[in-house]
Amino acid sequence: MSKSISPFKRVKVYAKTNGHCAYCGDNLCEEDFHIDHVFPKSLGGSNDLGNLMPSCHSCNASKGTKTLEHYRMYLTAKNVTGVAIFGHSQLMYLKEAGAFPVLGFDKEHRFHFEVMA
């Protein structure tokens, strides 16, 4: 949890998905949810409200510094294989080589905030 995000902004972030994790949809506790930077701070992302999403601990930890599209590829592959066996460069290679459909990765993962929109 970032200390530079005000309590007022935390309330606004929590309300974006009606108290659910933006990624998996689990219910969140208003006092103890994580705030994820959709575009990671390590890549230049900001603390603007548009770049912040409420997240459960598990999703925030697994997303880490991944971009939204990298996290989507990661979860798509993990949903098929059952475990996280591919790194970012491997996923990019497989996608660019057109191997996703062959491997069964043809159904892209949809996040809770996309489904609820």
Per-residue pLDDT at 1 exceeds 50: no
Whether residue 44 is found in the same domain as residue 72: no
Whether residue 53 is found in the same domain as residue 91: no
Residue 15 lies in a domain: yes
Residue 24 lies in a domain: yes
- Parent domain of 12: 7-63
Whether residue 45 is found in the same domain as residue 28: yes
Whether residue 73 is found in the same domain as residue 58: no
Q: For residue range 70-92, what is the model confidence (pLDDT) as tens digits?
A: 899 899 888 888 888 888 899 88
Give the 3-state secondary structure of residue 25. coil
What pLDDT, on the 0 to 100 scale, is given for residue 46? 94
Residue 86 lies in a domain: yes
Share of the chain above pLDDT 70, in %: 97
Cα–Cα distances in angstroms (integers) from residue 81 to residues 45, 78, 86, 95, 117, in the given order? 31, 5, 10, 15, 28
What predicted TM-score, i.e. pTM, was given to this entire model? 0.84
Give 104 or 24, the one with higher predicted confidence: 24
Alpha helix ranges (H) inside the chain? 7-15, 57-63, 68-81, 88-96, 100-103, 112-115
HSE-up of 93 (CA within 13 Å, CB side)?
Answer: 5
Smallest CA-to-CA distance from 47 within 2, 91, 93, 100 is with 2
**Average pLDDT value over all residues in the chain:** 90
Whether residue 77 is found in the same domain as residue 51: no
